Amino acid sequence: MGLERKAVLRAVSAHTVHYERRRPEETILHCLVREHLETFLAQVEAKTGTGLPEFVKDEFETFLECGILAHGFLRVRCADCAYEKLVAFSCKRRGFCPSCGARRMAQSAAHLVDQVIPRVPVRQWVLSFPIPLRIVFAAHPELLTPVLRIIHRVITRFLLKQAGLKRATADTGAVTLIQRFGSAANLNIHLHCLVLDGVYRRTEGEPVFQQARAPTHDELQGLLDKIIARQVSRNKARTCKTEGRRQGNGYQRPQSQHSVNELR
């Protein structure tokens, strides 16, 4: 055995942490997708007449290539000990690949904890939508933005009211993660809002955090009613404005309770 090879082995054995290539081709999920993907796509196409969207097919195909050396890799060499490793390319997708999804989740969580969210209590607010709205948001994701503005505005005013302060004298903060599927990989668009559980009161120096108490069941129901009512009012106003431009009709205020019940 050459001296260089011995040096490499000593360097590897001295390292307590080292890279070990994952082997996705040996996992049950990879085997199932690899063996049954074509049959599954053919069955869907025969049943629907159109098949799955191209971006869904692409998600499956890139998953099958993720972490496989035959589909590309980097050759990494240590400048000190000459030890070498082959690192396979990853798909870096967010939809189906458990490895890339978990890595992105861990990186996002670390970034939020270390760089974004201050060291104060945080409450998670989760808002789900009726199935018809999930389909609309899936087809038109840009419609989620105004809905999210309404949600944040309602929650912020609730926290300010608890603190006995006004928007001009205090601030709060939130980060929202949009989840687009459920535990069964079904379409289930819902929002995970990480909201500071209180407000920062402005002072001449450093702002002072004032924690809020937990909302009661009745208060949560009231907040939900406000979110629904404001979204319904906004949609009705836009619809009537559009129809008025087309037909010259005046705006008539909708029956809010009926609209709220429809959205529920």
List the domain boundaries for the chain. 16-88, 118-263
Cα–Cα dist 180/139, whole Å = 12
Residue-level pLDDT at 259 = 40
pTM: 0.69
List the beta bridge partners of residue 94. Answer: none
Which pLDDT tens digit goes with each residue over 52-83? 888 888 999 999 999 999 999 999 888 888 88
Cα–Cα dist 137/227, whole Å = 17
* Helix, strand, coil percent content, the chain, rounded in steps of 5: 55, 15, 30
Closest CA to 193 of 110, 127, 149: 127
| Residue ranges of the chain whose pLDDT lies below 70 | 1-17, 185, 235-264
Cα–Cα dist 173/194, whole Å = 8
Residue-level pLDDT at 200 = 95
Residue-level pLDDT at 249 = 44
Residue-level pLDDT at 148 = 93
Residue-level pLDDT at 9 = 54
Helix, coil or strand: residue 87: strand
Residue-level pLDDT at 79 = 86
Residue-level pLDDT at 180 = 86
Residue-level pLDDT at 230 = 86
Cα–Cα dist 176/17, whole Å = 35
- Do residues 202 and 169 touch, judged by C-beta distance below 8 A? yes
